[in-house]
Amino acid sequence: MNVPVVLLHGGNVASWMWEPQLPALTDRTVHTPDLPGFGERVAEDWPGLDAVADDIVARAPGRFDLVGLSLGALTALRVLARHPDRVRTAFLTSAPVTPAGAGMRLFGRLQLAFGQQPWFWRAQAALFGLPEDARARYVTHGLSVRRENATAMTAEVCAGGVPADLARYAGPLLAVAGEKDSAAVRRSLTVIATAAPQARVRIAPGMHHIWNVENVDLFNEVLRTWLNGSVDPRLQTI
């Protein structure tokens, strides 16, 4: 059964971040949409997470497996709450659902102040542990994001929280954070597990925030294992 897979990208990147995963999904129909305000849709306004979730579902075929990273994971949570019947399984990683602390709010202010400076995005790429061959694209796209979209998106992310109707989704859910991700993202696993008791929460050993690029083989194997109905044993329980 070829259930489509929908992969939702993180903030300040676009659908191209999933290119390393495509060779591992050749037996599936894969959809990697750009979110409003990013990639091919950079000229569009950021409409809010609920509207983005509705937009994703309107563009997706039938019932699908859902994958989201960072901003994509926050969007995926809204999809689960608003359209639970459309999702067969969900794999969410690096979701910052706790209200932003001082560190994250500082990052938001720095992005708004220096988001048009290449050095800012190069520093972020290094902080996230991105390999050298992925950094140039990250910098180029970061410079393309419009300030007003960055402001609106950052405000929603910093507010934190999970959708009130998340319990409407009762299907399989795997939530992962990198071992070297921020403490806020790692704490978010407990929040997700409370809101969705069926969720299995795990830590990806040695990984940072954007680990689908940091360690392509590990991410792809974890994803394939999940799509096949299991949790990769290399992920650590918490």
23 against 160, higher pLDDT: 23
Are 201 and 192 in contact, with CB atoms under 8 Å apart? yes
| 105: confidence class by pLDDT, cuts 50, 70, 90 | low
pLDDT of residue 107 exceeding 70: no
pLDDT of residue 97 exceeding 70: yes
Q: Which residues pair with 8 in a beta bridge?
A: 68
pLDDT of residue 147 exceeding 80: yes
pLDDT of residue 228 exceeding 80: yes
Instruction: Express each pLDDT in 160-198 by its tens digit.
Output: 899 999 999 999 999 999 999 999 999 999 999 999 999
Please check whether the domain covering 5-100+161-237 is classified as CATH 3.30.505.10: no
Q: SS in 3 state form for 164-215?
A: CCHHHCCCCEEEEEECCCCHHHHHHHHHHHHHCCCCEEEEECCCCCCHHHHC
Per-residue confidence (pLDDT) for residue 146, from 0 to 100: 86
Are 14 and 38 in contact, with CB atoms under 8 Å apart? yes
**Strand arrangement of the beta sheet that strand 5-8 belongs to:** 30-31, 5-8, 64-69, 87-93, 173-178, 200-204, 236-237
CA distance linking residue 36 with residue 43, whole number of Å: 8
| 138: confidence class by pLDDT, cuts 50, 70, 90 | confident
For 173, list phi and psi in degrees, rounded to 5. Answer: -145, 125
pLDDT of residue 100 exceeding 90: no
Q: How far does CA 6 lie from the centroid of its chain?
A: 12
Domain boundaries, the chain: 5-100+161-237
Instruction: Express each pLDDT in 46-69 by its tens digit.
Output: 999 999 999 999 999 899 999 999
CA distance linking residue 136 with residue 121, whole number of Å: 9
pLDDT of residue 101 exceeding 80: no
- For 109, other C-beta atoms within 10 Å of its C-beta total 10
Per-residue confidence (pLDDT) for residue 222, from 0 to 100: 98
Amino acid identity for residue 187 in this structure: R
